[in-house]
Amino acid sequence: MATMEGTFIYRRIGLAGVLHAVRKLPVVPILLLLPVVVCGIFGPLFYPHDPTVMKLSMALNPPAWVSGGDWSYFLGTDHMGRDLLSRLIEGARASLIVAVFGVGFAGIFGVAMGMIAGYLEGTIDNVIMRIVDTQMSIPAILLIILLAAVLGGGLVTIIISVSLVFWTTYARVVRGETLSIKQRDFVALAKVRGCRNIRILRKHIFPNLVNTVMVLATLQLGRAIIIEASITFLGLGIQPPATAWGLVISDGRIYMSTAWWIPTFAGGAIMITVLGANLLGDWLRDKLDPRLRQV
């Protein structure tokens, strides 16, 4: 009897621990971002139809729950008879690739430049920061349009453009953090012990920047997705027959009055993804900042 009671209590404690851990997770951001991540990685497994196959006889077919809709085309079709749900799933892959690689490359370069500028200061700091100031004075969308026009459209071009635009934000934030961290006692002790600058940056300064960089990267994921969709909408990004959310909106804008579902669902996908990324960034900021953690 005692054993059964102990087992019951243990299970209750274990269940309470699981529920407590779940409550600490960013449930809403996970629910918003999980479909995008799953579709971006395993997209072809979920295609109801080939997103590139055209069936003119099914052109502008409404969603399944609307009069005249077909349940085999749950979200309807576009003006070429392509399945809209399949195109949105395929578009998630392009957005995920741009967000991850564009923000990732920008973070690597921007963090390196910010650490170097903040730690060495002097002439190197002035040169790097003047480059940052000059680039940040140019509107991001204008700079990306210029780069896309020069390099040509495509996924690689958008990743390069996003990286070149975003690195300045990392550099400015990381430089300020580095200037503060280098004044601390553990950095002074490392210098006294004869540690080289590269080792101090790698072992003592960078670990104290990880939290800030993670929050900044998460907040920039949504911005990268918006930029990718904007450039593609203007015709300078991902080109047909590839699929992207911005391309779906661009194709459907002239059918807004007769086929509202084409731009609406693509715009909704962008909105949900960006909202999830921003909420995740806010949650990380609250969890990783010791001052906010106590509130």
Helical segments of 197-260, H only: 197-200, 210-233, 245-252
Q: How far is CA 176 from CA 107, 137, 152, 170, 218, in A?
A: 15, 19, 36, 10, 19
Per-residue pLDDT of the chain (295 residues; tens, 9 = 90+): 545 555 544 455 554 544 444 557 788 888 999 989 998 888 888 888 888 888 888 888 889 888 888 888 899 898 888 999 999 999 999 899 999 999 999 999 999 999 999 988 888 889 999 999 988 888 888 888 888 878 877 888 889 988 988 999 999 999 999 988 888 888 888 888 888 888 888 888 888 888 889 888 988 998 899 988 988 888 888 888 888 899 999 888 888 888 899 999 999 999 999 999 989 888 888 787 655 555 5
User: If we measure between CA atoms, which residue out of 217, 216, 224 comes closest to residue 99?
Assistant: 224
Residue 40 near residue 92, CB atoms below 8 Å? yes
pLDDT for 242: 83
Separation of alpha carbons 42 and 89, rounded Å: 9
- Cis amide prior to 26 (ω within 30 degrees): no
Q: What is the pLDDT of residue 10?
A: 46
What are the boundaries of each domain within the chain? 29-51+61-293
Question: What is 29-51+61-293's CATH number, 3.40.50.300, 3.40.50.2300, 1.10.3720.10, 3.40.718.10?
Answer: 1.10.3720.10
Q: What local confidence, expressed as pLDDT, does residue 4 receive?
A: 55
Backbone φ/ψ region at 235: left (φ over 0), alpha (ψ -120 to 50), beta: left
The pLDDT of residue 289 is 64
Q: Which of these, 269, 277, 279, 284, lies nearest to 100 by C-alpha position?
A: 277
- Output the pLDDT for position 156: 87
> Strand ranges (DSSP E) for the chain?
none
Phi-psi region of 62 (alpha: psi -120 to 50; beta: other; left: phi over 0): beta
Backbone phi, psi, residue 83, to 5°? -65, 125
pLDDT at position 67, please? 84
Residue 128: per-residue pLDDT: 92
